[in-house]
Amino acid sequence: MTADRENPVARTPYGAVGGRWEQGVAVFRGIPYAAPPFGPRRFRPPVPPEPWDGVRDAGAFGPTAPKPPYSEAFAQYLSDPTVPGDDCLNLNVWTPDPAPGARLPVFVWLHGGALTRGSSAVPVYDGRTFARDGVVFVSVNHRLGVEGYGLFPDAPANPGLRDQLAALHWVHEAVGAFGGDPDRITLGGQSAGAISTGALIAAPRARGLVRRAVLQSGPPETTDRDKVRRMVRRMANRLKVPATAEAFAAVDRGQLLRVQADIGRLGSPILGGPAFGIVTDGDLVPRDPLEALTDGAAPGVDLLAGWTRDEYRLWLVPGGLLDRVDRLGAVALAGAMARCRCGGEVPRGYRALRPDAGTSEIVGQMVTDHLLRAPLHRLADGRTESSYVYEFAWPSGRPRMGACHALELGFVFDSADEPDARRLAGEDAPRELAAAMHGAWVRFVSDGAPGWERWDERHPVRVFGDGEPHTAHGPRDRELALWAAAGTVTAAEGPVSGSAPELRSVVGRLRRGGALRRS
């Protein structure tokens, strides 16, 4: 890279790119790491981009993957910019030192959005603060929804995850030209980005590419193949085409997105439903990532993992689902029991631990523990030599949102007072909390030690936002012990036979009552 203060230039494996200096940081946006995934490449694994001559302008974010917009209820809390164009397999780089040989730590970020929404252009993901603090920050766009995670008989599975792997290979090969150290790459993400991170670090084909990993509010997991097939079949029925990649590729892209969004409204993080997700494929994902990681996959990879205290409130508050779950009472609780494949002893135990809680809190915490906290506990238990765990507990200034899913992002990026972060956090987010949390992430990315003790039999959890940052030992142990006492398997350990009819019955009652209209 040249250090021209007017226009920093770096040479990638496919050609030179020209970035911008912004607040003392060199920024390169919209760099292609693979060819546009359309035409004959639609639903296929990514291939390298065509090389170019001269210096390609990298001043603006590249196209985002096709995706439906958020509903009004969710859009008031979450932004999701759309950049038109086919060249959507691109990434961005923020670097403090645009000089080859600087050997700075690297943080590669995978966005959230349930694998159907989101992009690297979301303002809260601005990498300037990481670059300001000595980290080369890279954010990635990849295919989403049916384009990235549809399961077809005539196309390979997981093309969106394959995109991410291609981006990771690009970073490993090219980041030295931006001042990064290819031997000090941290891969991380939130929600769907964390799930993708878990799948990638467990993947044999990614071995040696990642030194550390950050999993925020998303465990290593795969989705049942039949669940994804049902989503594809329902779309095919609505479109009146065969459930094949060839047939879907012939459908107008806008119509495909509208049908995907409509079918997706029938699902819920609380009660499940049709959805897209990463599946085991015998190739990139040969087995369940959680099982692989607890069995010793990714040796030497340090882990930072955690959750927010009230994850469920982002799922329940927009659109009024929180109140409906409270009104439905026993019906909603039965739905949670079916979703979590447990008997009545588990919700009774939660009620005893939270005697003043409403049904929505009992349901929300049960599902969060089952789907997220229990698998992350299991992951840390299997990797005690290199795991750190946190909880984000600061309640949003927005009414009833609490310490909800995605709220911690503005603090991790030290941007909680920016307009995009205030959509979820409200006004007057504590600057000192953002500095503390961001500083811990910078330390972890830099040297693998965020500033508190590693996970062990005492279950140390660093709590951010409940007073001064402090370490609590086993703050979720009582709840998770209820599952063990009941002999209930976690979601990561596979389905329990016989739960599907009960779940369909409860979901039907909730749907007829309007409780699943969420996005």
Model pLDDT for residues 317-354, shown as the tens digit of each residue: 998 888 888 888 888 888 888 878 888 899 999 999 99
Point out which residues pair with 139 in neighbouring strands: 92, 109
The per-residue DSSP string of 88-125 comes to --EEEEEES--STT--EEEEEEE--STTTS--TT-GGG
pLDDT score recorded for residue 101: 86
The C-alpha atoms of residue 30 and residue 63 are separated, in whole angstroms, by 7
Domain architecture of the chain: domains with CATH = 9-512 (3.40.50.1820)
pLDDT score recorded for residue 41: 96
What lies within 8 Å, CB to CB, of 92 at 6+ separation is: 27, 28, 29, 30, 31, 61, 62, 120, 127, 138, 139
Q: Work out the burial of residue 382: count CB atoms within 10 Å of its CB; fewer than 13 is exposed, 13-18 middle, 19 or more buried.
A: middle
- The answer to whether 212 and 304 are in contact (CB under 8 A) is yes
| More confidently predicted of 510 and 158 | 158
Asked whether residue 410 carries a pLDDT value surpassing 90, the answer given is yes
Percent pLDDT > 90 in the chain is: 82
- Nearest 5°: the CA angle 99, 107, 308 is 155
Asked whether residue 488 carries a pLDDT value surpassing 70, the answer given is no
Asked whether residue 28 carries a pLDDT value surpassing 90, the answer given is yes
Asked whether residue 519 carries a pLDDT value surpassing 50, the answer given is no
Asked whether residue 490 carries a pLDDT value surpassing 80, the answer given is no
| More confidently predicted of 417 and 303 | 303
Q: For all residues of the chain together, what is the average pLDDT?
A: 91
Q: Which two tokens stand for residue 25?
A: 């940081």
Q: Count of CB atoms within 10 A of residue 257's CB? A: 20
Asked whether residue 162 carries a pLDDT value surpassing 50, the answer given is yes
Which 8-state DSSP code applies to residue 397? S
Average pLDDT over residues 220-238: 95
Average pLDDT over residues 424-441: 96
* DSSP-derived 3-state class of residue 256: helix
Asked whether residue 509 carries a pLDDT value surpassing 60, the answer given is no
Asked whether residue 489 carries a pLDDT value surpassing 70, the answer given is no
Which of the residues are catalytic? 191, 311, 405
pLDDT score recorded for residue 491: 42
Q: How far apart are the first and last CA of the chain?
A: 44
The C-alpha atoms of residue 434 and residue 193 are separated, in whole angstroms, by 21
- The answer to whether 308 and 364 are in contact (CB under 8 A) is no
What's the predicted TM-score (pTM) here?
A: 0.93
CA distances from 357 to 29, 250, 278, 325, 347 (A): 46, 51, 34, 13, 12
pLDDT score recorded for residue 264: 85
- Nearest 5°: the CA angle 353, 355, 358 is 110
- Nearest 5°: the CA angle 306, 311, 312 is 150
Model pLDDT for residues 172-211, shown as the tens digit of each residue: 999 999 999 999 999 999 999 999 999 999 999 999 999 9
Model pLDDT for residues 467-477, shown as the tens digit of each residue: 999 999 999 99
